[in-house]
Chains A and B, each alone.
Chain A
Amino acid sequence: MVTITLKNLRKTFGEVVATDDVNMVLEDGKLSTLLGPSGCGKTTLLRLIAGFYEPDHGEIYFDDRNVTDIPPNKRNTGMCFQSYALWPHMTVFDNISYGLKIKRVQGMKYTPSAIDKRVNNALELVQMSGLGERTPHQLSGGQQQRVALARALVIEPDVLLLDEPLSNLDAKLRVEMREEILRIQGELGITTVYVTHDQIEALSISDMVAVMDVGYIQQYAPPREIYDSPQTLFVADFIGKCTFLDGEISALGDTLSVRLPDGQIVKGMTPLLGYPFQLNELVRCAVRPEDLHSVATSLEDNMISGVVNQVVFVGSNIEVNFNVGEVSATSLLPSDAELEPGSLIKLYAPLSQMMVLPIGGIDALRKIPGHPLYASTES
């Protein structure tokens, strides 16, 4: 199995920068997800790894082997296309066996009976036994998706590339197939790159998550770290809910003080270590709804006061929308809290949960020594 290293990759289509400044190491046997909104460059990055696109510059390594100039059929990757790309003139069985018939193990072909066995195993794996003689157009979207998955897995690739492989399945089957992919991936130890725009899916199955926006990797870290310490405002907003409070830095230090427009001062920490904050710099404080409490847990806690706007019952909790000056904020409180729209509310946020982030996004990351984006200022 292989470790994939991407060095300084860039791919443009005419004027469109599809992906740029990609530096990441996808470790051997790990499942990494590319997560981001539509059009952020996930498929492009996956296709670069598969070899269907040539990068404008940069290199791709499988272990120590530079595969940048190696054609796709020599890379031994198994790709599951976003559009499935099943061959319409072949049966399901032939779609899956096609790669096996070509594959040589130490120069030897698979025997017809070995092929039979493997294809049937693959079909069983994706819960499609008995449907081998159908043609793709006789299958539902979800079934086609599973055939595409079986076709990619059956050749036992070094690298598994999955482009939204579960997007067309119903909720129950999606969870089942997700478990299945995890199990197969774990058992075979295939280095896997998994593309999705579903954050729950990404957080729950990945060893590492790369959050992408407009072609750039915003953060590449384990799921917990992505959630607990988002490095950019985009990540904070995209992963889970966040309330954002704009302000200016009024004091520097390990804890940063931020003056909100209505004069309140909140204190917080930054998850972005090494970023050179400056006095009076415009910043944004991000806080998760579940970190805004109705009682203080320590004397140091921030107190934020606002006016209740709306109270929504969401089962185990109530979601309170309130206004801090002009800004609307959200808090998740125990459902026994009694609040009326229009009433004043005081909430407390621990220092450590008040995340102070620079406005710049990617440009802010470039100012951090040691960050993968630091040296590579726009050329």
Chain B
Amino acid sequence: MSYLVRKFPFTVRAAYAGLQQTPIELEEASLNVGATRNKTFSSIVVPLIGVSVLAGALLSFVYCVSEVSTSLLLGGANYNDAPLTYWIRDVNAGLPPLFGAGPAAALGVLMMVLQMIVIVATNAILKTRASAMTGI
């Protein structure tokens, strides 16, 4: 919940930017040939802004995973829901299930790898969209 609240704006911003980039004529052209508002939304608006929303959501995910401050605050209360950072601290401090600096570092690397994958994926998606719109 807390992640949602803190990172939701990223997703909204992305969707909003997508909407602003989409000329109103594209929707009007759809209405003009007889499509209802709902049909226009699902066939024109969503495909055109959907990609930006997805990208925004992925980015939010990256931020959530590495979120330290919220994790430390809430992690103690609900161990199972805690994200990686909380684990890393735990592991480092020598609590079960694993302990010692080695596994903690491994988890840190895992986190970095995960973030990189997501960021690369996001960029790839954004690029295809950009090239679909501009032809570059």
For the complex, is A78 an interface residue (Cβ under 8 Å from B)? yes
Known: A79-B28, A85-B28. 10 other contacts (CB 8 A): A52-B28, A72-B32, A85-B26, A87-B44, A88-B133, A98-B30, A99-B35, A102-B35, A135-B132, A137-B135
Report whether B39 and A87 are in contact in the complex, using a CB–CB cutoff of 8 Å. no
Contact across chains for A73 and B132 when beta carbons are under 8 A apart: no
Question: A151 interface residue, CB < 8 Å from B?
Answer: yes
Is the CB of B117 closer than 8 A to any CB of chain A? Answer: no
- B residues 23-55 in Cβ contact with A at 8 Å: 23, 25-26, 28-37, 39, 43-44, 47-48
- With a cutoff of 8 Å between Cβ atoms, the chain A residues found around residue B34 in the complex are 73, 76, 99, 102-103, 155
A115 CB to nearest chain B CB (Å)? 13
A138 at the interface (CB under 8 A from B): yes
**Count of A-B residue pairs with CB < 8 Å:** 70
- A73 and B48: CB pair below 8 A? no
* Cβ contacts A79-113/B at 8 Å (1 or 0 each): 10101011111000000001100110000000000
Size of B's binding interface in residues, CB under 8 A: 22
Closest partner residue, chain B, to A81 (CB atom): B25
Most buried by A among B25, B34, B43, B47: B34
**Does residue A122 face the partner (Cβ distance < 8 Å to B)?**
no
8 Å CB contact of A72 from B28, B132, B135? B28
- Among B28, B29, B37, the one with the most A-chain Cβ atoms within 10 Å of its Cβ is B29
* A83-B23, A85-B23, A89-B48 given; A137·B32 CB < 8 A: no
Per the CB 8 Å criterion, the residue count for chain A at the interface is 27
A73 and B37 CA atoms in complex are apart in Å by 9
Known interface pairs A137-B135, A138-B135; A50-B39 also in contact (CB < 8 Å): no
Structural contact, A88 and B132, CB atoms closer than 8 A: yes
Is the Cβ of B33 less than 8 Å from the Cβ of A102? yes
Cα–Cα distance between A167 and B114 once the two chains are bound (Å):
51
Pull 29 A–B residue pairs with CB atoms less than 8 Å apart, ordered by A.
A51-B31, A52-B28, A72-B28, A72-B32, A73-B32, A73-B36, A77-B32, A78-B32, A79-B32, A81-B25, A81-B29, A83-B23, A85-B25, A85-B28, A87-B29, A87-B30, A87-B44, A88-B133, A89-B48, A98-B30, A99-B35, A102-B39, A135-B132, A137-B134, A137-B135, A138-B135, A151-B29, A151-B33, A155-B34
Complex CA distance for A83 and B133, rounded to whole angstroms: 14
B76-119 interface with A by 8 A CB criterion: none
For residue B33, which residues in chain A have a CB less than 8 angstroms away from its CB?
73, 78, 98-99, 102-103, 151-152, 155
